[in-house]
């Protein structure tokens, strides 16, 4: 839900009628009457609701829409380039995996700045993170933005799954009557969309010529200034420390369900002992084994991705083993009193390292440089090792209780 800024246009800046509210009347959580929350107040409705003409029953105007512009194909929403507090907060939430699969904008045509019939058309995906990224990278540039329906998935991944595709682009061009909006016959498609788009086919089917833009939205201003030419650096993907780091919360989030099930299994396994099953043992030994699980989780889903280029080997599974070994060797002395035996320590060591290896291997899917053939080779090699390792460690762990 959007919170509108307090009466910023008021000529009496000291008076902020909506700032102090009685309990339960805060508009931060509850939108009692949306119009009351808008800048200005309800009493100046004609000034504060300039877009009343675009109201539609059952629809809410998106916060990023600034106004509408009339085109040959009807009114088109013009969006703001700047992100507000809620865009930023939801970016963080989505980066953590919260509501990531429902974070989308409506496909169709948008404008930004003061788009004219000769402005460029930038094609993008309908993942809100992608959309926000693009509009904030454009700054003062005026352009049209053609949002394809990719089911809320980013350009590259959607192109790989053929949702960001020739067919979707051609259909979308027709659906928005792009030829009535612009006087040229050119669309700028992000380079990573090329995996799903055939420039030649788009031209044949729609009459529009595809120009491949740069990989990163932040290079678009330079690309446009340079006569729609991308230099070599703009054409290549990168994978910087920061780019790797922001992926780790989603890696953790993705592993949570499996980790929860594994943790339950650990507590059950830990209860097995000389007296067949002991709840005391399940709790005490369960907590120790949980520490090993968390260690493997952190090593494989956070440390390995972040430190990726500094860890030896090209194989992610091995990188995970290496990092897991380092982490577990640091952890073991701390939890050894709770383990009590070398056999138990060996069990937890193997377990933690295998968890790390598996999660590290899983990270191949999030990198921009691993080939499916390579991943397949690696999985054939290491999945059996990981599975065997976990089984052996479970056996040792039970054995160590006797």
Partner 1 sequence: MKDFRYLEDVATLVLDEQKCIGCGLCTEVCPQAVFEMNENKARIVDFNACMECGACVNNCPVDAISVSPGVG
CB of 315 to partner 1, least distance (A): 7
205 binds partner 1 (CB under 8 A): no
Nearer residue to partner 1 within complex by CB, 245 or 277: 245
Q: Cβ of 129: how many Cβ atoms within 10 Å?
A: 18
232 binds partner 1 (CB under 8 A): yes
Q: Which of 114, 377, 384, 387 binds partner 1 (CB under 8 A)?
A: 377
367 binds partner 1 (CB under 8 A): yes
Per DSSP bridges, beta strands 74-79 and 108-112 are: parallel
CB 357, CB 313: distance < 8 Å: no
198 binds partner 1 (CB under 8 A): yes
**What is the Cα–Cα distance from 51 to 235, expressed in whole angstroms?**
40
235 binds partner 1 (CB under 8 A): yes
**What is the Cα–Cα distance from 53 to 203, expressed in whole angstroms?**
37
For residue 169, which of 120, 113, 121 has the smallest C-alpha distance? Answer: 121
Q: Which residue has the tokens 């830990």?
A: 270
Q: Which of 141, 170, 176, 192 binds partner 1 (CB under 8 A)?
A: 192
For residue 357, which of 317, 322, 385 has the smallest C-alpha distance? Answer: 317
**What is the Cα–Cα distance from 7 to 20, expressed in whole angstroms?**
13
366 binds partner 1 (CB under 8 A): no
Distance of alpha carbon 366 from its chain centroid, rounded? Answer: 10
**What is the Cα–Cα distance from 93 to 334, expressed in whole angstroms?**
33
Residue-wise burial string across 378-390, b where 16 or more C-beta atoms lie within 10 A, e elsewhere: bbeebeeebeebb
241 binds partner 1 (CB under 8 A): no
Q: Which of 375, 390, 392, 398 binds partner 1 (CB under 8 A)?
A: 375
CB of 144 to partner 1, least distance (A): 22
Nearer residue to partner 1 within complex by CB, 88 or 377: 377
Nearer residue to partner 1 within complex by CB, 194 or 392: 194
CB of 168 to partner 1, least distance (A): 14
Nearer residue to partner 1 within complex by CB, 191 or 289: 191
Q: Which of 194, 218, 222, 258 binds partner 1 (CB under 8 A)?
A: 194
Q: Which stretch binds partner 1 (CB under 8 A): 74-82, 118-126, 153-161, 297-305?
A: 153-161
CB 168, CB 117: distance < 8 Å: no
CB of 356 to partner 1, least distance (A): 19
3-state DSSP: the chain helix, strand, coil percent, rounded to 5?
55, 10, 35
Residue 24 is classified by DSSP as T
186 binds partner 1 (CB under 8 A): no
Q: Cβ of 7: how many Cβ atoms within 10 Å?
A: 19
90 binds partner 1 (CB under 8 A): no
**What is the Cα–Cα distance from 367 to 370, expressed in whole angstroms?**
6
CB 331, CB 320: distance < 8 Å: no
Give the interface size with partner 1 as a residue count (CB under 8 A).
37
215 binds partner 1 (CB under 8 A): yes
312 binds partner 1 (CB under 8 A): no
CB of 253 to partner 1, least distance (A): 22
**What is the Cα–Cα distance from 66 to 47, expressed in whole angstroms?**
14
236 binds partner 1 (CB under 8 A): yes
376 binds partner 1 (CB under 8 A): yes
Nearer residue to partner 1 within complex by CB, 343 or 370: 370
CB of 374 to partner 1, least distance (A): 4
Which residues sit at the interface with partner 1, rule CB under 8 A? 156, 159-160, 191-192, 194-200, 212, 215, 230, 232, 235-239, 308-309, 314-315, 367-378
């Amino acid at each position: 839900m959007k919170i509108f800024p307090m009466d910023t246009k008021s000529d009496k800046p000291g008076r902020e009628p909506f700032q102090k509210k009685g309990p339960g009347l805060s508009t931060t959580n509850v939108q009692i009457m949306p119009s009351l929350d808008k800048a200005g107040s309800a009493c100046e409705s004609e000034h504060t609701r300039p877009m009343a003409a675009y109201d539609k029953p059952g629809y809410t105007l998106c916060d990023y829409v600034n106004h509408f512009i009339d085109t040959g194909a009807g009114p088109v929403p013009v969006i703001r380039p700047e992100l507000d507090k809620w865009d930023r907060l939801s970016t963080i939430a989505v980066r953590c995996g919260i509501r990531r699969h429902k974070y989308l904008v409506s496909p169709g045509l948008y404008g930004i700045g003061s788009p004219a019939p000769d402005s460029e058309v930038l094609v993008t995906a309908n993942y809100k993170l992608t959309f926000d990224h693009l509009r904030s990278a454009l700054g003062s540039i005026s352009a049209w933005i053609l949002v394809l329906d990719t089911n809320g998935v980013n350009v590259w991944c959607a192109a790989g799954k053929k949702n960001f595709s020739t067919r979707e682009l051609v259909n979308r061009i027709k659906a928005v009557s792009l030829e009535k909006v612009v006087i040229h016959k050119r669309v700028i498609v992000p380079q990573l969309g090329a995996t799903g788009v055939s420039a030649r086919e788009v031209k044949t089917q729609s009459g529009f010529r595809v120009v491949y833009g740069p990989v990163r939205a932040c290079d678009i201003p330079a690309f446009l200034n340079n006569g729609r030419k991308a230099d070599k650096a703009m054409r290549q993907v990168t994978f910087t420390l920061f780019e790797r780091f922001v992926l780790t919360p989603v890696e953790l989030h993705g592993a949570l369900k499996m980790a929860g099930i594994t943790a339950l299994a650990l507590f059950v396994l830990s209860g097995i002992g000389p007296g067949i099953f002991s709840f005391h043992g399940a709790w005490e030994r369960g907590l120790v084994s949980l520490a090993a699980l968390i260690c493997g989780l952190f090593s494989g889903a956070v440390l390995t991705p972040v430190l990726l280029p500094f860890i030896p080997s090209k194989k992610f599974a091995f990188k995970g083993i290496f990092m897991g070994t380092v982490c577990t060797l640091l952890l073991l002395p701390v939890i050894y009193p709770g383990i009590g035996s070398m056999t138990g320590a060996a069990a937890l060591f193997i377990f933690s390292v295998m968890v790390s290896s598996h999660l590290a291997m899983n990270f191949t899917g999030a990198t921009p440089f691993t080939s499916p053939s390579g991943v397949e080779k690696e999985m054939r090699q290491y999945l059996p090792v990981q599975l065997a390792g976990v089984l052996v460690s479970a056996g040792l762990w039970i054995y160590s209780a006797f």
